A and B are shown apart, each in its own frame.
Chain A
Amino acid sequence: MNVGEGQPLLSIPPAMTVRGVSFTYGVRQSPSVAPVLDCIQSVIPSGQIVGILGPNGSGKSTFLKLLAGLLKPRKGVISLFGDSLEQLSAREVAKRVAFVPQETLQVFPFTIAEMVLMGRSPHHGGWGGWHWEDREDREIATAAMQELDVQHLGNRFVTDVSGGERQRAVIARALAQQPQVLLLDEPTAFLDLHHQLDIAKILRRLNRERGLTVVLVSHDVNLVSQYCDTILLLHQGRIIQEGAPGAVIREEVLQEVYGCSVLVDRHPQSGLPRVSLPVCG
Chain B
Amino acid sequence: MAGAIFLICLGFGSESIQASRILHVLGTAVWGQASLDSVGDPSEIIILQVRLPRLLLAFLVGGSLSLVGVVLQALLRNPLADPFVIGISSGAALGAALALLLGLGVAVGTISALPVCAFLGALGSLMLVYRLSATHMGFSVHTLLLAGVVVNAIFSALILFLTSVADPNKTFGMYAWLMGTLTGPDYVTVMILGGYLTLGLGVLIRQAQFLNLLTLGEETARSLGVEVERVKKVVFLMSALVTGGVVAFSGLIGFVGLIVPHAIRLWVSADHRLLMPLSGLAGGAFLMVADTVARTLLSPVELPVGVVTALVGGPVFLYLLMQRKVGNIS
Q: Which residues of A contact B (CB under 8 A)?
A: 65, 68-70, 89-95, 97-99, 101, 104-110, 114-115, 118-119, 121-122, 124, 127-132, 159, 177
Q: Are B209 and A131 in contact (CB under 8 A)?
A: yes
Within 8 A of A (CB), among B249-275: 265-266, 269-271, 273
Q: How far is the CB of B186 from chain A (nearest CB, A)?
A: 34
- Decide if B210 is an interface residue (CB 8 Å cutoff): yes
- Decide if B213 is an interface residue (CB 8 Å cutoff): yes
Q: Are B224 and A109 in contact (CB under 8 A)?
A: no
A104→B138 CA distance, assembly (Å): 12
Question: Which residue of the partner chain, among B205, B217, B225, B329, contacts A104 with CB atoms under 8 Å?
Answer: B217
Mask: chain B, 204-228; 1 = CB below 8 Å from A; 0 = not = 0111111011011101101111111
Q: Interface extent on B, as a size class? A: 35 or more
A95→B225 CA distance, assembly (Å): 8
Q: Are B78 and A121 in contact (CB under 8 A)?
A: no
Within 8 A of A (CB), among B170-194: none
Closest to A99 in B: B223
Q: How far is the CB of B215 from chain A (nearest CB, A)?
A: 5
The main secondary structure of chain A at its interface with chain B is mixed
Most chain A CB within 10 A, of B73, B220, B273, is at B220
- Decide if B313 is an interface residue (CB 8 Å cutoff): no
Q: Are A70 and B219 in contact (CB under 8 A)?
A: yes
Question: Which residue of the partner chain, among B74, B206, B226, contacts A127 with CB atoms under 8 Å?
Answer: B206
Closest to A159 in B: B329
Q: Are B215 and A129 in contact (CB under 8 A)?
A: no
Q: Are A129 and B206 in contact (CB under 8 A)?
A: yes
A68→B218 CA distance, assembly (Å): 13
- Decide if B20 is an interface residue (CB 8 Å cutoff): no
Q: How far is the CB of B200 from chain A (nearest CB, A)?
A: 14
A177→B219 CA distance, assembly (Å): 16
Given A70-B219, A70-B222, A108-B215, check contact A90 B227 (CB 8 Å): yes
A119→B209 CA distance, assembly (Å): 12
A94→B79 CA distance, assembly (Å): 28
Question: Which residue of the partner chain, among B73, B208, B219, contacts A129 with CB atoms under 8 Å?
Answer: B208
Q: Which residues of B contact A131 (CB under 8 A)?
A: 209
- Decide if B77 is an interface residue (CB 8 Å cutoff): yes
Given A101-B217, A122-B224, check contact A107 B208 (CB 8 Å): no
Q: Are B209 and A121 in contact (CB under 8 A)?
A: yes
Question: Which residue of the partner chain, among A90, A110, A132, contacts B225 with CB atoms under 8 Å?
Answer: A90
Q: How far is the CB of A67 from chain B (nearest CB, A)?
A: 11
A124→B231 CA distance, assembly (Å): 16
Question: Which residue of the partner chain, among B79, B217, B222, B223, contacts A105 with CB atoms under 8 Å?
Answer: B217
Q: Are B210 and A107 in contact (CB under 8 A)?
A: no
- Decide if B330 is an interface residue (CB 8 Å cutoff): yes
Q: How far is the CB of B255 from chain A (nearest CB, A)?
A: 19
**29 A-B residue pairs with CB within 8 Å:** A65-B219, A68-B223, A69-B222, A69-B223, A89-B225, A94-B224, A99-B219, A101-B219, A101-B223, A104-B220, A105-B215, A105-B217, A106-B216, A107-B78, A107-B79, A108-B74, A108-B215, A108-B265, A114-B269, A115-B216, A118-B212, A118-B216, A118-B224, A121-B224, A122-B224, A127-B206, A129-B210, A129-B231, A132-B273
Known: A106-B216, A122-B224, A128-B207. 11 other contacts (CB 8 A): A70-B219, A89-B227, A93-B225, A101-B217, A105-B217, A107-B215, A109-B266, A114-B271, A124-B209, A127-B206, A128-B206
Within 8 A of A (CB), among B97-139: 138
Q: Which residues of B contact A107 (CB under 8 A)?
A: 77-79, 215, 329-330
4 residue pairs, one from A and one from B, having the closest CB atoms: A94-B225, A122-B225, A128-B206, A91-B225
Question: Which residue of the partner chain, among B74, B224, B265, B266, contacts A119 with CB atoms under 8 Å?
Answer: B224
Question: Which residue of the partner chain, among B208, B220, B224, contacts A130 with CB atoms under 8 Å?
Answer: B208
Q: How far is the CB of A80 from chain B (nearest CB, A)?
A: 14
Q: Which residues of A contact B216 (CB under 8 A)?
A: 104-106, 115, 118
Q: Which residues of B contact A92 (CB under 8 A)?
A: 225
Closest to B202 in A: A128
Closest to A65 in B: B219
Given A70-B222, A159-B329, check contact A110 B270 (CB 8 Å): yes
Closest to A119 in B: B224
Most chain B CB within 10 A, of A98, A129, A177, is at A129
Q: Which residues of B contact A132 (CB under 8 A)?
A: 273
Q: How far is the CB of A184 from chain B (nearest CB, A)?
A: 12
Q: Which residues of A contact B269 (CB under 8 A)?
A: 114
A90→B220 CA distance, assembly (Å): 11
Q: Which residues of A contact B273 (CB under 8 A)?
A: 130, 132
Given A108-B270, A129-B206, check contact A70 B217 (CB 8 Å): no
Q: Are B271 and A177 in contact (CB under 8 A)?
A: no
Q: Are A129 and B226 in contact (CB under 8 A)?
A: yes
Q: Which residues of A contact B329 (CB under 8 A)?
A: 107, 159
Q: Are B138 and A105 in contact (CB under 8 A)?
A: yes
Closest to B204 in A: A128
Q: How far is the CB of B97 from chain A (nearest CB, A)?
A: 34
Q: Are A118 and B330 in contact (CB under 8 A)?
A: no
Question: Which residue of the partner chain, among A69, A90, A93, A130, contacts B209 with CB atoms under 8 Å?
Answer: A130
A78→B208 CA distance, assembly (Å): 32
Q: Which residues of A contact B78 (CB under 8 A)?
A: 107
Q: Which residues of A contact B207 (CB under 8 A)?
A: 128-130
Given A107-B330, A109-B270, check contact A90 B215 (CB 8 Å): no
A90→B212 CA distance, assembly (Å): 16
A89→B227 CA distance, assembly (Å): 8
Q: Which residues of B contact A124 (CB under 8 A)?
A: 209
Q: Which residues of B contact A105 (CB under 8 A)?
A: 77, 138, 215-217, 220
